[in-house]
Structure 1
Amino acid sequence: MLILLPVCRNLISFFRGSVETNKYCCRRSVRRLLDKNLSFHKRLAYMIVILSITHCIAHFFNFQYLYDAQVGSAEGSLERYLSDLDDDGSDTWINPVRPPPITLYGLGVIEQGLRRVAGWSGVIITVALLLMFTSATEFIRRSYFETFWITHHLFVIYYGFLLVHGTEGVIRSQSNTDIHDPVYCENISVKDWNFDPKCMTSPTFVKGSAASYKWVTGPLVLYFIERLIRFIRSHQTVTITKVVRHPSRVFELRMKKKGFKMQSGQYIFLKCPSLSHLQWHPFTLTSSPDEDFFSVHIRTAGDWTTSLSIACGATSKEPIAAGDLPRVAVDGPFGTASIDIFKYQVGICVAAGIGVTPFASILKSIWYQIREGDEELKLRKVYFFWVCPDTNAFEWFSELLKKLEIEMAEQGRSDFLNYNIYLSRGWSTTQAKNIYLLEEDNKDAITGLRQKTHYGRPVWDSIFKQIASDNPGVNAGVFFCGPSALSHVLHKNSNLHSSITRDGCRFFYNKENF
């Protein structure tokens, strides 16, 4: 019932918007829970697999007991009597193993189990579940996406056979307990039942009604609506207005779509039908809501992104004519944790590598609001930390930082944005010499920015202590996009350095989830 709901992106986005505008709800805490939808989906999958295995093992023991009762129980015993109830052609049986038990290659128990609807449908359900689960590993998702996509859509077969799994009514219950007391009669020999008024009437059994549909019909309807929305969006016209080539194998797609409305920090799913009709890839929007287009920055790091860059002319010397650009489909936009930065007085943005993309949109939007003198802007200070493994990731984003640095200085707001770039590795001997020679220069040797690049990894404990000291009595939102290892460190420091007093700084951790 639950596992379909977290993957209904539009449903989650709808609830997130409702929570955000509801002044009487625990908005921050509920939004943080909605941002964990995929983690919840994965944990539900683990639980379903564990309980399914338990369910199967229990039925193995159950059918072995029923088979032994039909084949090996002594004449006159209760097990033999109950197993033979259907011999007169009535439908009052309780033991689904029917006489004479047919043995297929000596596997009588398995053969008897597969003769029932619950048996063969259970096998199909289990196989579909295992294929979905094993093909959902990160390696297969990233390297063989079509395999993941196709096997994950076995959920259609899974739910279909789940609905018929209990229709035969193998689990049965006694219908005449008022005239045949099962507790009393169990302690009397079957031979003596005809002489006891409480047991004289034979027990009758009826099948239980299938109940799966009561639980899964609602989520299936919601998921069908979700897929219908995606299908409609996939056929809406999206115009690529410009393709911008950036250094380090990064290109920018600027697009327009009728009725498209976005917020800073949101993301979209992008599909290029000429490359694949199955693959939808998530990309964070790097444009601002104040711009007349929406854009994504894409780094060519795989087969699909490489093919898209070639199709869009990002690798050729001459730009491709607008009419020759490939058709793309857009689903979204969808909200993430980053859009909540405007709810805090202090924003702390931490990016690792290409995880910097959500903050491009946010920084642009902040700048537009400052330039227009937006009095409703709650933010008073933004700390930006960017940890890069090598210098190749610097170019395109450092251009944006350089522009913001100049324009904010002209507005007299140089102290509003405090940015720190950390180069963790990847500098050559030549670059090291240039860094040393230009150390006294006003601009950084690598980025060209006024604030110098740090070399090595940030000491987060000291950083959080300093921010807490500089911002007493405020709520500071910590926003991160990057690998889980660094996420744990930031989350731990956010909790460690949050003050419980009114005059202390309180950190609220938020992580991007795609």
Structure 2
Amino acid sequence: MIHLVNHIWIGATSGTVFGLAGSLFFAFTAPVLILAFLAVLYLIISEGDEIQEKKTLKRPTFRLWTFPVLVNGPFGVVTAAELIGIALVSVFVIWACAAYTIRDWGEISKDQVTSFIKSCLMLERSGARLGLIGLFCLSLLFLPISRGSILLRLIDIPFEHATRYHVWLGHLTMALFTLHGLAYVIAWAMEGRLIEQIFEWKDIGVANLAGVISLASGILMWVTSLPGVRTRNFELFFYTHQLYVVFVVFLAMHAGDFIFFMCSGGIFLFMLDRFLRSIQSRKTVDIISATSLPCGTVELVLSKPACLRYNALSFIFLQVRELSWLQWHPFSVSSSPLEGRYHLSVLIKVLGEWTEKLKGKISNNEERQKLLETRLKSLITASVEGPYGHESPYHLTYKHLILVAGGIGISPFLAILSDVMHRLKEGKPCMPKNILIVWAIKKSDELPLLSMINMDSIDPIFYDALNLDIQIYVTRESEPKVEEGKAFGAMNTCTYPISKRSAISVLVGTGDNIWTGIYIVASSIGFLTFLALLDVLYINPYNITIWWYKGLLVVVCMLAGVVIFGGVAVAFWHQWERRMLASESNNYDTKKSNRALHDVAVEHKNSNQEYLVNSSTLRYGCRPDFKDIFGSASDHWGAVDVGVLVCGPETLTSTVATEIRSHSLRRKHNHPVFHFNSHSFDL
């Protein structure tokens, strides 16, 4: 049926000036672009909507996307919605392979040839079909890896979650492409023309050598992305993954223009995101202060404009050029967007070589603080991509929250707690009224992390509006080493003077919706314009029929549309940003702001200690008993919806997911429904 529909569509459209390539463009690429346009319109229209408190339902409800089904296995924790998606893709791949195999074998078996020739033909047919199915998967592969993707924002899936889907699709796509190449290699070897075919580069038909180069680069990316290699040598994974450029370009030359259009929509949206990221990351950002904690954690406070749009639970990619010009590392934002108009904070755990160098740089800078004050120049600078995260602050849609953290996993929950407190103070919509924080740490020297919350500007009367319970488990100490009241101890802070007010750029895909929409529409129009001009002025008049050349020209048109048309939109966006920053600077006193931000970095660390200590319970020498924790919450809160957010090691995440699944399966009518959500640093 699908085959018949394709033939009808191609027959109806291939007679146009764009030919067969135009037919496949409008069948596969155009729907992706149209969906992106509609997503832009939807986000612009709904941009002004505030978080509204939902009507109280009589009973709590289960949700497919927050109900964990699989908690252990190759996919990690998988929700019901994710399991349905995995099942649908698996069924499609199995059905397509079976349908193509049955049809091809039926056609080949009718030929009056030897069994050997039939086997070779079947291998080549199977290879072609596997490549075709791989292209369908490839059409989805680049969508989840676009950090500011308009489509991810439309369905409110943050990049950190979507990377899992990219990994799953990557394994499936490369498995299909590898089998695609292997089937041809076996057939050619059986026919005795392996070397000849591998190095063949046809003008009419697929260019085999281009396919070999594309597949080789893809396999190299695939092998170095496997968990064993990635965890042991992240830099090898990161650098080899830049081969995606080789993979895409040679794939286009291997397949030709019309076949490449089957997957070009997702690749084009990735190009949009990548170009915008490269523009944003060129700007250096002031590091306002750097705080070194006794537990081996560093807090960086970065300068940002007041108009920068982000939510709590967002994260940024950070590069410190004094340490490396190539390495980018993701970190959760630990401050609320309401906490400060001109600064943003991240917590960095010292775990590897890069973070060790960062801590060493800060320690050296502390000794040279007086020199900094005279030179008015920071000795370390940063480049930033982001912030990225959920389109809407979903943590504000639950009246009851359980935040489960392991070690540095407390970082995003500090932003949540600060966000809730500031919303209560400012009278903004905010549903959470009961928050339980369960924090497991190895040693008590990690306790000062909790004092990084800036609540010094909040009137204590607002503390009564929030029922906060913090349960801290120190797993590797049997008794306290310090007095509990002083557990949130002192730290060393190095504050840098701001010389030129260099803040995080607002040129980010999750930023201003109107400018993002203009950028996407302008780039898409540019892509279509270059394609049309190419066909009308060059391909048709000069009868260009070389497949690999036309495939390369499509990639050039995509790049030209993004860089030229999209670049003009970004240039106007940048001018708007400069005017906004100039307007802010009129009310921005550098000396006063330096002093105020120094206070933020130092004084607030002690201002909220009493409230935090009174809300905290410390337990030594034990781990959280989640069965008891969730059972107690069930008895205390009753039949309500409870949002559970987990940030920490995979073992902690799977343990919490297991308990939520178990509770859901044996839930009583007067018990809550726990909604599982995870926040991961594994990007």
**2:336 is matched by which residue type in structure 1?**
S
Task: Name 2:334's counterpart in structure 1.
Answer: 286
- Once the two structures are superposed, residues 57-84 of structure 1 have per-residue CA deviations (whole angstroms, 9 ceiling, x without a partner) of 321343245x2xxxxxxxxxxxxxxxxx
Query: Could you tell me how far 1:340 is from its partner in structure 2?
Result: 1.6
Closer, same or farther: CA 489–142 of 1 in aligned 2, 3 Å: closer
1:342–1:60: structure 2 CA closer, same or farther, 3 Å change rule? same
The residue identity in structure 2 corresponding to 1:423 is V
Kept after mapping to 2: 8 A contact 1:336/1:512: no
Shift of 1:408: 8.3
Instruction: Letter of the 1:478 partner, please give it.
Output: V
Structure 1 residue matching 2:464: 3-state secondary structure: coil
Partners of 2:391 and 2:436 in 1: CA distance: 17
Correspondence 1:40 to 2:165: yes
Alpha-carbon distance in structure 1 between the residues aligned to 2:447 and 2:392:
21
Instruction: Note the C-alpha offset of 1:509.
Output: 0.3
Tell whether the 8 Å contact from 1:269 to 1:281 is kept in structure 2 after alignment. Answer: yes
Match of 1:171 in 2: none
1:311 to 335, 354, 361: 361
CA shift at 1:235, angstroms?
1.9
Secondary structure at the aligned position of 1:413 is classed as helix
CA shift, 1:45, in A, is 1.6
- TM-score, normalising length: structure 2: 0.55
Equivalence for 1:109: 193
Counterparts of 1:382 and 1:133, CA distance in 2: 41
Instruction: Provide the C-alpha distance between the structure 2 equivalents of 1:454 and 1:10, rounded to a whole number of angstroms.
Output: 41
Amino acid at match of 1:296: V
Deviations 1:118-143 (A, max 9, x none): 43233222221221112224454455
Which of 487, 490, 502 is the equivalent residue of 2:653?
487
Residue aligned with 1:45, SS:
helix
One-letter identity of the residue aligned with 1:262? Y
Deviations 1:465-504 (A, max 9, x none): 1112211231111001011112112112222223878754
What do residues 75-97 of structure 1 show as CA deviations (whole Å, max 9, x unaligned)? xxxxxxxxxxxxxxxxxxxxxxx
| Aligned partner (choices 388, 397, 400) of residue 346 of structure 1 | 400
- The secondary structure found in structure 2 opposite 1:425 is coil
Which of 277, 298, 301 matches 2:325? 277
Structure with greater contact order relative to length (CA < 8 Å, sep ≥ 6) = 2
Question: Secondary structure at 2:643's aligned position in 1?
Answer: strand
1:475–1:16 Cα change, 3 Å: farther
Deviation at 1:269, TM superposition (A): 0.7
What is the identity percentage for the equivalent residue pairs of Structure 1 and Structure 2?
25
For 1:416 and 1:408, the matched residues in 2 are separated by: 15
Question: Would you say the 8 A contact 1:338–1:479 is kept in 2?
Answer: no
Q: Which moved more, 1:127-136 or 1:251-260?
A: 251-260
- Contact 1:245–1:252 (8 Å) recurs in 2: yes
Matched residues in 1 for 2:229 and 2:412: separation? 26
Alignment match, 1:170? none
> Partners in 1 of 2:298 and 2:679 — Cα distance?
22
Counterpart-to-counterpart distance in 2, 1:158 and 1:406: 52
Instruction: Report the AA paired with residue 470 of structure 1.
Output: H
For residues 135-167 of structure 1, give each alpha carbon's deviation from its aligned partner in whole angstroms, at most 9, with x where no partner exists.
224454455444322211111111122112245
Retained in 2: the 8 A contact 1:269–1:331? yes
Query: Which amino acid in structure 1 is aligned with residue 618 of structure 2?
Result: T
Tell me by how many angstroms 1:314 deviates. 6.4
The corresponding residue for 2:238 is 149
Relative to structure 1, the CA distance from residue 371 to residue 426 in structure 2 (aligned partners, 3 Å threshold; closer, same or farther) is same
The one of 380, 385, 390 aligned to 2:433: 380
Q: Hey, what's the Cα distance between the residues in 1 that align with 2:276 and 2:631?
A: 47
Offset of residue 2 of structure 1: 1.7
After superposition, the Cα gap between the structure-2 partners of 1:250 and 1:318, relative to the gap in structure 1 and judged at 3 Å, is farther
Unaligned runs of 5+ in 1: 21-30, 68-107, 168-209
Q: TM-score normalized by structure 1?
A: 0.71
Q: Which residue of 2 aligns with 1:62?
A: 187
- In 2, are the aligned partners of 1:247 and 1:396 still within 8 Å (CA)? no
Of residues 246, 252, 273, the one that matches 1:163 is 252
Query: Structure 1's 46 and 113: CA in aligned 2 closer, same or farther, altered over 3 A?
Result: same
| SS in structure 2 at match of 1:7 | coil
1:38 Cα deviation (Å)? Answer: 1.0
Specify the SS of the correspondent of 1:323.
Answer: coil
Structure 1 Cα separation of the partners of residues 318 and 475 of structure 2 = 31
Q: 1:463 is matched with which residue? A: 629
SS in 2 for 1:215: coil
Change (3 A) 1:317 1:299: farther
1:454 aligns with 2:507: no
Task: Give the secondary-structure state (helix, strand or coil) at the position aligned to 1:275.
Answer: coil
Higher helix share: 2
| Change beyond 3 A, Cα 1:130–1:426 | farther
Alpha carbons 1:237, 1:257 under 8 Å: kept: no
| Distance across 1 between alignment mates of 2:220 and 2:394 | 38
Which amino acid in 2 is paired with 1:452? T
Residue 295 of structure 1: aligned partner = 345
Shift of residue 334, structure 1, vs aligned partner: 0.8
2 CA distance for matches of 1:396 and 1:302? 19
Deviation at 1:387, TM superposition (A): 0.6
Worse-matched range after superposition: 234-243 or 477-486: 234-243
1:438-478 deviation per Cα after TM superposition (whole angstroms, max 9, x unaligned): 7xxx8587888343311311111121111122112311110
Q: CA deviation at 1:211?
A: 3.9
C-alpha displacement of 1:370: 2.5
Rg bigger for which structure? Answer: 1
* Corresponding residue of 1:27: none
Kept in 1: contact 2:286–2:378 (CA 8 A): no
Contact 1:132 1:151 in 2 (8 A): yes
Corresponding residue for 2:120? none
Residue deviations 1:168-208, cap 9 Å, x none?
A: xxxxxxxxxxxxxxxxxxxxxxxxxxxxxxxxxxxxxxxxx
How far does residue 55 in structure 1 lie from its aligned partner after superposition?
A: 1.6
Determine helix, strand or coil for the equivalent of 1:128.
Answer: helix
AA in 2 matched with 1:507: F
Unaligned residue ranges in structure 2 (runs of 5+): 1-138, 202-206, 490-608
SS of 1:304's equivalent? Answer: helix
What CA distance in whole angstroms lies between the structure 1 residues aligned with 2:226 and 2:187? Answer: 33
Contact 1:146 1:278 in 2 (8 A): no
Distance of 2:271 and 2:213 partners within structure 1: 22
Residue in structure 2 matched with residue 418 of structure 1 by the alignment? 469
**1:388 & 1:346 partners in 2: Cα distance?**
23
Asked if the contact 2:421/2:462 (under 8 Å) is kept, the reply is no
Residue of structure 2 aligned with 1:213, choices 250, 260, 275: 260
Q: Distance between the aligned counterparts of 1:58 and 1:289, measured in 2?
A: 54
Aligned to 2:291: 244
Structure 1 residue aligned with 2:312: 264
Query: Residue 502 and residue 408 in structure 1: after superposition, are their counterparts in 2 closer, same or farther (change >3 A)?
Result: farther
- Secondary structure (helix, strand or coil) at the match of 1:153 reads helix
Q: Is the 8 A contact 1:444 1:453 kept in 2?
A: no
Structure 1, residues 202-261: CA drift from partner, whole Å, max 9, x if none? xxxxxxxx6431123222221211111111111234222222232222222111133423
Contact 2:293 2:448 in 1 (8 A): yes
Deviations 1:21-60 (A, max 9, x none): xxxxxxxxxx48x753111111112112322232233213
Distance 1:309 1:445, change over 3 A: closer
Within 2, Cα distance between the matches of 1:405 and 1:420?
22
Distance of 1:337 and 1:421 partners within structure 2: 31
The answer as to whether partners of 2:422 and 2:458 remain within 8 angstroms in 1 is no
**RMSD after superposition:** 3.1
- Separation in structure 2 between the aligned mates of residue 229 and residue 243 of structure 1, nearest angstrom: 28
Deviations 1:308-343 (A, max 9, x none): 233345664343445033221111111159942101
Give the residue type in structure 2 aligned to 1:129.
G
Q: Please say if residues 400 and 642 of structure 2, whose CA atoms lie closer than 8 Å, have aligned partners that are also in contact.
A: yes
